[in-house]
Amino acid sequence: MKNLARPRLQHGAALATALFFLVMITILGLAAMRAGQNDLRLALNEETRITAVQRAQSLLESMLQNDEANLVVRQGSGYVQNCFVSAQLDAVSLKNRQAFECPSALVDATALPAGVLQQHAYTLVRRESVGGSDFAPVSALRRGDSGERFRLASFTVLAGYDRTSASRASSADESGNFSAAEVSQGTFIKVDTVEGVVVE
C-alpha cells in the first residue's frame, strides 16, 4: 500500500505578501500622481505670471509709442497727467492692493489699443519734476547741437494688467487662470526751446 503525503497546511503567507506589495505600489502611485499635479500647478502659475508681465509690458509699449496722445508736454510738473481704469476692474480693490488711484477727472484719458489688453488694463502717466524744475536741460543730443535748443520733459509711465479683480463669473483667460502684473518706466520727451514761446 502506497503512503500518500499529506498536503502542506497553508497559513496565508503568500496572500499577505501580495497584499502588502499591492498596497505599497498603490501608495507610491498616488504619491507620484500628487507630485505630478503639484508640478503642473506650479508650471501653470509660472506661465500665467509670465503672460501677465508680457501683457503689462505690451500696454506700456503701446502708451510710449502713442506719445502724442499720452505724453503731451504741458507747463508744470509733479502731477498725474492722465490715467485709465478698465470698466471690468474694481477701482477700490486696485487702491487697496496696489495703492493705485486714478483721479476721477482723469479717468479714460489714456489712449490704448482696443481689445483684451484694454479690457483688463489700468494705466497712469505722471509728469515728474527734475530737480525742482519742470524741464531738464540737455547738454547735447546730437553732434552740432548747442544744448540750449532743447529741454527734456520727464514722465513716469505705469501700466498694469489685472485679471484678479475682474469678474470671475464672466470667463477666465485662455489658460483658465487669473493673473496680474504691473510695470513702470521713466521716459523723457524732447522739447524744442524757442525764445519767447511758453510750452503749455
* Mean pLDDT computed over 7-13: 65
Give residue-wise pLDDT tens across range 54-79. 999 999 999 998 888 888 888 889 99
Tracing cell 507610491 back to the chain, one arrives at 28
The backbone region for 106, taken as left when phi is positive above 0, alpha when psi lies in -120 to 50, beta otherwise, is alpha
* Mean pLDDT computed over 157-164: 89
Please, which pLDDT band fits residue 176 given cuts at 50, 70 and 90? low
- The pLDDT of residue 144 is 53
Between CA 175 and CA 125 the distance in angstroms is 30
- The pLDDT of residue 15 is 81
Q: Which helix (H) or strand (E) holds 171?
A: none
Average pLDDT over the chain reads 80
Between CA 185 and CA 180 the distance in angstroms is 17
Per-residue CA distances from 58 to 13, 94, 113, 161 (Å): 68, 20, 10, 10
Using H for helix, E for strand and C for coil, what is the string for 108-154? CCCCCCCCHHHHCEEEEEEEECECCECCEECCCCCCCCCCCCEEEEE
- The pLDDT of residue 94 is 85
Please, which pLDDT band fits residue 198 given cuts at 50, 70 and 90? low
Please, which pLDDT band fits residue 108 given cuts at 50, 70 and 90? low
* Mean pLDDT computed over 90-98: 84
> Residue 19 half-sphere exposure, CB side, CA atoms within 13 Å?
5
